[in-house]
Amino acid sequence: MVRINRETDYGIGILTAMARAPEQRFSTVRLADQQGLPQPMVAKILKNLARAGILVSYRGAKGGYGLARPARQISVAEIITALEGPIAFTECVEEGVDACQYGDACTTSANWWRISQVVQHALGSISLKDMSEPVVPLRMMAPRAGSLKGDAS
C-alpha cells in the first residue's frame, strides 16, 4: 500500500488548523493540545515545515509559527516533500537509474517515472486552502448500487 507517513498526516492536520486562522501565530503547545498530539512530535514537524519555507517562526513572548504565504500557494506535494522527501514510487525515480540494480536494462523505470509525475502533479494541484475547506465525504458522492447506466435492475 502506498501512503503518507504518520508525521505527514499530522503535519497536514496542523497546517489545516493554521490555514483556518492565517492571521494568528500558533505555539507548539497550542497546536499539540488542539490536535491531541505529543508536543515533541509537533515541535519536530513545525521545525521541518519552517526549514522548508512553509512556515515562519516568530520569537519572543508573542512568538510561535505562522504560514509563510497564503494557504492557496502551498501545495500538498510541497508539504509531503518537506516532511518525507521526494515523491517517488521507486528508487530509480528518486535517485536515478544508477540506483537500480537493473540499471539501463530495466523495462519499467520509464513508466514508474511517468506514474510518479502524474501523482506529483495531482498532489501539486491541491492546495492547503483546499484541504482546510470542508467537502462532501466521498461515500456520500459515490453512486448507489443500481444507479449506474447499464446496471441490470
Identify whether 138 is part of a domain. Answer: no
Identify whether 94 is part of a domain. Answer: yes
Identify whether 145 is part of a domain. Answer: no
Give pLDDT, residue 145: 61
Give pLDDT, residue 110: 80
Please determine, for residue 147, whether its predicted confidence score (pLDDT) is greater than 60.
no
Identify whether 81 is part of a domain. Answer: yes
Identify whether 31 is part of a domain. Answer: yes
82: nearest Cα among 123, 23, 32: 123
The total number of structural domains in the chain stands at 1
pLDDT band at 153 (very low <50, low <70, confident <90, very high): very low
Residue 128 is part of a domain; what is its CATH number? 1.10.10.10
Identify whether 13 is part of a domain. Answer: yes
Identify whether 142 is part of a domain. Answer: no
Residues in contact with 137: Cβ distance below 8 Å, sequence separation at least 6, in sequence order: none
Question: What range defines the domain where residue 26 resides?
Answer: 6-132
Alpha-carbon span 70 to 1, nearest angstrom: 32
Identify whether 67 is part of a domain. Answer: yes
Give pLDDT tens digits for 114-141: 888 999 999 999 999 999 998 777 666 6
Give pLDDT tens digits for 3-49: 889 999 999 999 999 999 999 999 999 999 999 999 999 999 999 99
**Which value, to the nearest 10 degrees, does the dihedral of the CA atoms of residues 21, 23, 27, 31 take?**
10
